[in-house]
Copies of this chain bind each other. A is one copy, B any other.
Amino acid sequence: MTQTAETATDTTRQELDALLDAAVAAAPVLAAERPAERALRLRAVADALDAAAGDLVPLAVAESHLTEARLTGELKRTTFQLRLFAGVLDEGAYLQVTIDHADPDWGMGPRPDLRRMLRPIGPVAIWAASNFPFAFSVAGGDTASALAAGAPVLLKAHPGHPRLSVETGRIVSEALGRAGAPDGAFALVTGVEIGRTLITDPRIAAAAFTGSLKGGRALFDLASGRPVPIPFFGELGSVNPAVVTPAAAAARADAIAGGFVDSMTLGAGQFCTKPGLLFVPAGSDLPRLVAERLRSVPGAPMLNASIARGFAGALGDLAGHDGVEVLVDGDRDGGEAPAPSLLRTDAATLAGDAESLTEEAFGPAALLIEYRDRAELERALAAIHGQLTATVQAADDDPDAAALLPLLADRAGRVLVNGWPTGVTVSWAQQHGGPYPATTSVQTTSVGTAAIDRFLRPVAYQGTPDALLPEPLREENPWHLPRRVDGVLHR
């Protein structure tokens, strides 16, 4: 298991070169192993992180300014996630084993024996995010799913929590090593300039990123512009529109205002799933109710000064936009614990300049948009780019909800009814992704068990004697895998 020095000095080009060579050497070793081996390792990493909670959580509190309760919960999520992927490996459906026996009478002409499964894609580069020091960082969802897939990981640490990154990286490396992982299966790298080198290196086969639109797009462009382009799984940002139907506004405005304020101020608004836009029927009480509640929410420390400055800048741009009114004037001066802000506009104004008005302000602020009728609402929604989530607050038997859902599903990866988008569970059905610019890869998810698909690729074996086949494809099904045989699914 390779790792950088415990001090957060930048990885040198020479060190990176050696780490990349080690990853390349590890790739075929991992590809040849049984998934059950990797499952044991994921559990070993989870155990080691849980055991180190007493050291890691205080370090995370110090570097991120998030609360101990939040970070304790996040570490629990992180180790739960590692164990969930271990279960995915033990079940084995993720391999998508498909067997077509030779068939001389196949409709289009004789068919050879053909067997298909997924294999690891090769060494991957992963960029840690700042806002989840555990769950989207060194041992986060991208790392868990890549290690589960059998892809060696080069993890670019986020400078927002350098000591935590190095310490987490050390624990991951040591646990993997003790559990028999090949040298090169995981390595932490640090440094601002190293990202460009990593994304363009021919030894890297895929990349995953969570962060800003600007940074993510720059990396996506580098990944796509390589002589050999590689898949780039970037989650870049989202303002997560929520729509309150007239019937819902009439039935439970108070509860909606409360839920919205709780969700938009959670973690000082520093979630990619923060509801940043709330569409409300014109003339409803909601702007007043939301504003009242929001005024009672105190400022909370931002992750770091750079994020606080970025938030103040984006919020200032929004507040200064023609047709936007400031309802709750929280701190907009770049302070490190800004009180929350609330802005208001109307649907026609939003539809007229969605580009500016739906730019993410990463922090405790939101924009209320008043709409007069469904036609106006639909025009505004149609003007909004791709989103991670879209929410509708509806009443029972609400005709607006039925009409809005397909529209929201066209724009987002996750659609919620009567819930709020913060709080992204890790499970089989989760979809954390969406059309650009929510992500650069609309067909994948970065949370949930399906995230493993990003680091796999299919290979078919034709006419291959049983003894030469990878074990999952052998006739007797030695691993008892779910598989499709001659077109029929077998559990």
Chain A residues with CB under 8 Å of chain B are 28, 31-32, 73, 76-77, 80-81, 83-84, 87, 93, 98-100, 106-109, 111-112, 114-116, 119, 121-122, 220-221, 224-225, 228-229, 231, 385-386, 394, 401-402, 405-406, 409-410, 412-419, 423, 425-431, 433, 435-437, 440-445, 448, 450, 453, 456-465, 467-468, 482, 484, 486-487, 489-491
CA distance A458 to B121 in the complex (A): 21
Q: What residues of chain B lie closer than 8 Å to A463, measured between beta carbons?
A: 416-419
**Candidates B114, B231, B427, B489; contact of A491 at CB < 8 Å:** B489
**Candidates B84, B231, B448; contact of A442 at CB < 8 Å:** B231
Closest 5 pairs (CB-CB, A-B)? A431-B460, A224-B224, A116-B429, A80-B108, A98-B429
Instruction: List 17 A-B pairs, Cβ < 8 Å.
Output: A32-B406, A80-B108, A83-B107, A100-B429, A106-B425, A116-B430, A228-B436, A229-B436, A231-B443, A394-B468, A405-B464, A417-B464, A419-B462, A429-B460, A442-B457, A444-B458, A491-B491
Asked whether A417 lies within 8 Å of B465 as measured between CB atoms, the reply is: yes
Name the residue on B nearest A27 (C-beta). B410
Shortest Cβ distance from residue A21 to the other chain B in the assembled complex, whole angstroms: 14
**Candidates B427, B444, B464; contact of A415 at CB < 8 Å:** B464
Asked whether B440 lies within 8 Å of A229 as measured between CB atoms, the reply is: yes
Asked whether B429 lies within 8 Å of A108 as measured between CB atoms, the reply is: no
Asked whether B468 lies within 8 Å of A401 as measured between CB atoms, the reply is: yes
Q: What residues of chain B lie closer than 8 Å to A84, measured between beta carbons?
A: 107
Copies of this protein in the assembly total 2
Asked whether B108 lies within 8 Å of A460 as measured between CB atoms, the reply is: no
Name the residue on B nearest A441 (C-beta). B231
**Candidates B116, B443, B468; contact of A402 at CB < 8 Å:** B468
Known interface pairs A77-B108, A106-B425; 15 further A-B residue pairs with C-beta atoms within 8 A, sorted by A's residue number = A83-B107, A93-B484, A98-B429, A108-B426, A109-B425, A115-B429, A116-B428, A228-B386, A231-B443, A394-B468, A413-B459, A415-B464, A417-B461, A429-B484, A442-B457
Q: What residues of chain B lie closer than 8 Å to A224, measured between beta carbons?
A: 220-221, 224-225, 229
Asked whether A462 lies within 8 Å of B225 as measured between CB atoms, the reply is: no
Shortest Cβ distance from residue A19 to the other chain B in the assembled complex, whole angstroms: 20
Shortest Cβ distance from residue A310 to the other chain B in the assembled complex, whole angstroms: 22
Asked whether B461 lies within 8 Å of A413 as measured between CB atoms, the reply is: no
Asked whether A458 lies within 8 Å of B443 as measured between CB atoms, the reply is: yes
Q: What residues of chain B lie closer than 8 Å to A31, measured between beta carbons?
A: 406, 410
Q: What residues of chain B lie closer than 8 Å to A437, measured between beta carbons?
A: 228
Asked whether B112 lies within 8 Å of A413 as measured between CB atoms, the reply is: no
Shortest Cβ distance from residue A30 to the other chain B in the assembled complex, whole angstroms: 11
Q: What residues of chain B lie closer than 8 Å to A108, measured between beta carbons?
A: 76-77, 80-81, 425-426
Asked whether A442 lies within 8 Å of B121 as measured between CB atoms, the reply is: yes
CA distance A386 to B121 in the complex (A): 13
**Candidates B73, B100, B109, B445; contact of A428 at CB < 8 Å:** B100
CA distance A28 to B411 in the complex (A): 12
Asked whether A221 lies within 8 Å of B228 as measured between CB atoms, the reply is: no
Q: What residues of chain B lie closer than 8 Å to A428, measured between beta carbons?
A: 98, 100, 116, 484, 486-487
**Candidates B116, B231, B429; contact of A99 at CB < 8 Å:** B429
Name the residue on B nearest A103 (C-beta). B427
CA distance A34 to B437 in the complex (A): 30
Asked whether A425 lies within 8 Å of B111 as measured between CB atoms, the reply is: yes
Q: What residues of chain B lie closer than 8 Å to A119, measured between beta carbons?
A: 409
Asked whether B464 lies within 8 Å of A100 as measured between CB atoms, the reply is: no
Asked whether B445 lies within 8 Å of A413 as measured between CB atoms, the reply is: no
Name the residue on B nearest A454 (C-beta). B443
CA distance A405 to B468 in the complex (A): 8
CA distance A240 to B160 in the complex (A): 47
CA distance A109 to B425 in the complex (A): 8
Asked whether A28 lies within 8 Å of B410 as measured between CB atoms, the reply is: yes
Asked whether A458 lies within 8 Å of B468 as measured between CB atoms, the reply is: no
